[in-house]
Structure 1
Amino acid sequence: MLLEFKTKNYRSFKDTTTFSMQPAPKQTGLDYSVQTEQIVQKEGKLKEIKGLCSAVIYGPNAAGKTNLIGAMDTMRAIVLRGNIQNASEHSSPNEAAYSLELIPNNLGEKACTEFAIRFTESNLLIEYTLKLDLGNFLEVDYPRRIVEECLSVNDKLIFSRGKTLEVFLLAPIKQYVNKSIKRKTAKTMDIARSSLSDTELFLNNGFKTIFAKDLVALILKWFDEKFMVIYRADAIKVMRKFANPKENTVYIERTLTDAAKAFGVRSNALGYRQAADSDDVSLCSIFEDKKIAIQADAYESYGTIRFINEFPLVINAILNGGTLVMDEFDASIHPMALMNIINIFHNDEINIHHAQLIFNTHNPIFLDASLFRRDEIKFVERDEKTNQSVQYSLSDFRTADGIRKGEDYMSNYFVNRYGAITDVDFAPMLEEIVSANSEVNSHD
């Protein structure tokens, strides 16, 4: 369960930005949005950790909403590959995750980029932070280095990498410590320090090899399988692995077919086809009575295709307790279908593994006090003078500012009570264009 994500000097976010999924103090109501997990502490004592099951992010175009999700995607990519070098293979449309020279928010003033994340997994509270010297914006050949790297488990510092490397308390993770390590010694620390590289994460390399392979595996598995960050929802491509990939056969998925029929799909079923001479997988609309299958995008609507690509991610999150973070999750999908998906994450009887849904949107329908708590409603806006983005929650406003139970959040948003909205008026520009065009025509 994601509790908090921080970033600094990432694209439009120059200053430290904290995205919290923990309930704000003194916020009450909609208790189904608050999930509780237990952390095993010393002598088997349990500590309760609370997290929100959902969050919605609002803001005008170009405010930085997608950059916030991109920062999460970038940290995920760096952790999974274990270094801060550019990646040769791109599995996401987020170029900053692979070409790190696109990250820094500076041209001449050098500053470090920072990431920090707190989450729970397997009764552990894990916090991992990175401070990176990536040079200036677009400085491709800059000698990058990891300035700081820290790992804490259950609020106990496990290792800290700065001017020097220190490994501290291994007791909180004793069940994950490599069997060859009975205790920390000067020799093991010498080996760990000598293995450090300026561009490689100590987590994935020395710490994993020397101290705690199983703990690192647990952390990397969370990043890989449970931290599902979709940088651009329109770029989702359906991927499936089949038992017999060389056969030109259509495989029908009944769960997805049933969901698609509820959504309004017009064919009899949905399936996936992989040609014998290709690794590409295509989604098909299947008409069983006519025994034919055609490419789904040639028959189904764009909104239907979007839903079909997104719904398996929802299922995955619910079944595995994952955190699904998606850019424009609601684009081209009917609000009633989206409301139903949100209600699934709010349903304690279905969401038994504490899955989370985080998405950005322009649709004001979700600004509803009966649907989201104030601490679940986030805003991103960009300062017109500095061009820097800031992120905050509706719960950050004081009650004295008129943010009370029963308030009409949607109306307040459109009268600019909360910020994160921009007046748009194209009329003067079009009037000028029309006038200029009329003058040209009058001279002809």
Structure 2
Amino acid sequence: MLLEFKTENFKSFLDEMDFLMTPAPKQKDLEYSILEHKIGKKTYKGLCSAIIYGSNASGKTNIICAMDVFKEIILKGNIRNSDEMRSPNISERKLELIPNNLNKLPKPTKFYIRFVEQDLLVEYELIIDLGLFLDKSYQRKIKFEKLTINNKTIFERTENIDFFDLKVIEQYLIKEFRKNEDSAKALARNNLNPTELFLTNGFKMMFSSKLVSFILEWFEEKFIVIYRADATEIKSKLDNSKGGTVFVEHTINEAAKLFGINSNALGYVVPKDGGEVQLCSIFKDNGIAIPAKYFESYGTVRFINMFPLILKALVEGLVLVLDEFDANIHPMALMNIINIFHDDDINKKNAQLIFNTHNPIFLNANIVRRDEIKFVERDDNTHLSTHYSLSDFKTAGHRGVRKADDYMKHYFLGRYGAVKDIDFYELLEKFINDISEVE
């Protein structure tokens, strides 16, 4: 369960951006739809969902991009560029795109994450120096790295590395570690690589491969960040299946019927020539199957491609982060999915859903909590983004936010910011007049 994510000097976010997935303090009428995870005697609380609003080019996608890039850095274990394309996010592979482009001098980029999984509260902070925007030749280095487990610092890295009380992770330490503890610490201090994470390299090899594997597994399997969700295609686990096979998944087809598809079935087809698995429309009368993109609407294909992720999230308790999740999908279907994430009887594994949107229909106290409504605003003068939550506003006064308020109405009136008054009239009038004068 994700509790918090921070970044700094990441694209349009020059100052620290703190994305909280914990309930806002001292908020009346908000004691509902809370996830709970107990470790020992302490209970950690999290939000079921977060919906990010803001104008075009405000920086909404940059939050998701930062999560995606941070995850990729953790998994590959270094801050070097990569040729491997794991997602449409080019910033994953070319880190020189990360620093804010207005910087005159290099400023470090910061990442921080806090999550709970099983019996561990994990906090990890990474500060990296990538130079200026688009500087490919800059000598990158890790300036700071810190791992904390259950509120106890395990190690802290600057130019050197300090180790603290390792008793909190005693059960995760490598066998015979205590006998060689001093040697391991000395070896670690003398072999720091400026571009490699100590967590996934030295610490994993000499201190605790079990703990690091646990953390990496959470990032790989539980923290699912989908950049450009409109380009996502779920192929299930069929890539190694026999050619010429057709798979029809009952739950997905039942969901498709509820979505409005009743004249045909949907299934995954493995071509005989060993090509890529395709989502197909399958016609029951004659058994013909054609690619769904040729027969179904774009919104339908998007929904069917995304629905397995929703199922997986609920069954396994994933943190599901989606860029433009709602594009081309009917709001009624989306509202129902959000309600399911808020339902304790279905969401038993503490799954979380985070996405950005332009659809104001979710600005409703009957759908989400105030602290689940997030905003991103970009300053017209500085061109920098800021992030805040609806729960950051007081509950009294002229700008106060109450549960009974019409959030959508007040948003479009500009009470919460993160919205622009866009008027193309003058521009188009001038264009038309100029064309008329030429003619």
Aligned to 1:14: 14
Q: Which residue of 2 aligns with 1:263?
A: 259
Name the amino acid aligned to 1:49. Y
8 Å Cα contact 1:9-1:16 kept in structure 2: yes
Identity of aligned residues (%): 56
Q: Which moved more, 1:186-195 or 1:74-83?
A: 186-195
Indicate if the aligned counterparts of 2:269 and 2:278 stay in contact, CA closer than 8 A: yes
Asked if 1:27 is matched to 2:27, the reply is: yes
- 3-state secondary structure, aligned to 1:430: helix
1:343 pairs with 2:334: no
Q: Which residue of 1 is the match for residue 89 of structure 2?
A: 94
Aligned residues: 436
Q: Conserved in 2, the CA contact under 8 Å of 1:271 and 1:286?
A: yes
1:244 offset after TM fit, Å?
Answer: 5.1
Q: Does 1:431 align with 2:429?
A: yes
The 3 A distance-change label for structure 1 pair 348 and 148 is same
Within the alignment, does 1:190 sit opposite 2:199 as a pair? no
Corresponding residue SS for 2:243:
coil
Question: Residue 408 of structure 2 aligns with which residue?
Answer: 410
Q: 2:76: which partner in 1?
A: 81
1:123 to 91, 110, 119: 119
Query: Partner residue of 1:64?
Result: 59
Change beyond 3 A, Cα 1:193–1:368: same
Measure how far apart 1:183 and its partner are: 6.0
In 1, the alpha carbon distance for the partners of 2:200 and 2:260 equals 45
Is 395-404 or 65-74 further displaced after alignment?
395-404
Q: For the residues of structure 2 that align with 1:256 and 1:100, how far apart are their CA atoms?
A: 38
Partners of 2:163 and 2:254 lie apart in 1 by: 52
CA distance in 2, matches of 1:72, 1:423: 30
Give yes or no for contact 1:238–1:282 (8 Å, CA) kept in 2. no
Q: What amino acid is the match of 2:380?
A: E
Deviation at residue 279 of structure 1 after TM alignment: 4.8
Deviation for aligned residue 1:150: 0.6
Structure-2 residue corresponding to 1:174: 170
Distance in 2 (CA, whole Å) between partners of 1:13 and 1:183 is 46
Q: Which amino acid aligns with 2:90?
A: E
Question: Tell me, what secondary structure is at the counterpart of 1:313?
Answer: helix
1:260 CA displacement: 1.2
TM-score, normalising length: structure 2: 0.96
SS at match of 1:259: helix
Q: Distance in 2 between matches of 1:210 and 1:239?
A: 38
Cα deviations by residue, 1:369-398 (Å, 9 ceiling, x for unpaired)? 121111111100101111000000011112
C-alpha displacement of 1:30: 4.9
Cα-to-partner distance string for 1:133-159 (whole Å, 9 max, x where unaligned): 011100111111111111001110011
| Residue 48 (structure 2) aligns with | 53
Q: Aligned partners of 2:58, 2:66: CA distance in 1, in Å?
A: 14
8 Å contact kept, 1:238–1:281: no
SS at match of 2:219: helix
Q: Aligned runs of 1:108-257 on 2, under 5 Å?
A: 108-182=104-178, 185-242=181-238, 245-257=241-253
From the superposition, tell whether residues 159 and 411 of structure 1 become closer, same or farther in structure 2 (CA, over 3 Å). same
**SS in structure 1 of the partner of residue 100 of structure 2:** coil
Output the aligned Cα RMSD.
1.4
Are the equivalent residues in 1 in contact too, given 2:299–2:329 (CA < 8 A)? yes
* Residue identity opposite 1:182 in structure 2: R
CA–CA distance in 1 between the matches of 2:221 and 2:241? 23
Which of 410, 417, 420 matches 1:419? 417
Structure 1 portions without partners, runs of 5+: 41-45
Alpha-carbon distance, 1:96 to partner? 0.9
> Which has the larger displacement, 4-13 or 240-249?
240-249
Q: Quick check: 2:29–2:403 contact (8 Å CA) kept in 1?
A: no
Normalised to the residue count of structure 1, the TM-score between the two structures is 0.95
| 1:180/1:279 CA distance change after superposition, 3 Å | farther
Q: 1:243 to 1:436 in 2, by over 3 A?
A: closer
Moved more, 60-69 or 264-273: 264-273
Does the aligned pair in 1 maintain the 2:234–2:308 contact within 8 Å? no
The equivalent residue for 1:320 is: 316
Q: Contact 1:37/1:123 (CA < 8 Å) preserved in 2?
A: no
For residue 242 of structure 1, report the CA deviation from its aligned partner: 2.8
Deviates more, 1:225-234 or 1:8-17: 225-234
Aligned counterpart for 2:298 among listed residues 299, 302, 305: 302
**Partner Cα distance (1:60, 1:6) in 2:** 21
Residue by residue over 1:56-107, the C-alpha shift from the partner in whole angstroms, topping out at 9 and shown as x without a partner, is: 1100000000011100011011111111111111121111111100000145
3-state SS in 2 of match to 1:204: coil
Question: 1:43 — aligned with what?
Answer: none
Given residue 111 of structure 2, which amino acid in structure 1 is its aligned partner?
F
Distance 1:300 1:190 in 2: 62
Q: Which amino acid aligns with 1:405?
A: K
* Cα distance, 1:235 vs structure 2: 1.3
Partner AA of 2:21 in structure 1: M
C-alpha distance in structure 1 between counterparts of 2:237 and 2:46, whole Å = 34
Distance (whole Å) between structure 1 residues aligned to residue 237 and residue 368 of structure 2? 37
| CA contact 1:7–1:116 (8 Å) conserved in 2 | yes
Is the 2:22–2:46 Cα contact (8 Å) retained in structure 1?
A: yes
Deviations 1:186-205 (A, max 9, x none): 21111112332111111111
SS of 2:200 mapped into structure 1: helix
Q: Is the CA contact 1:56–1:359 (under 8 Å) kept in the aligned structure 2?
A: yes
Contact 2:126 2:145 in 1 (8 A): yes
**Letter of the 1:316 counterpart:** K
Please give the secondary structure, in 2, of the residue aligned with 1:185: helix
CA contact (8 A) 1:35 1:52 kept: yes
TM-superposition CA deviations, 1:26-77 (whole Å, max 9, x none): 124354421111113xxxxx21111111111100000000011100011011
- Which segment is superposed worse, 162-171 or 70-79? 162-171
Instruction: Determine if contact 2:247/2:268 at 8 Å carries over to the other structure.
Output: yes
Aligned equivalent of 1:358 = 354
State the shift of 1:300 in Å: 0.7
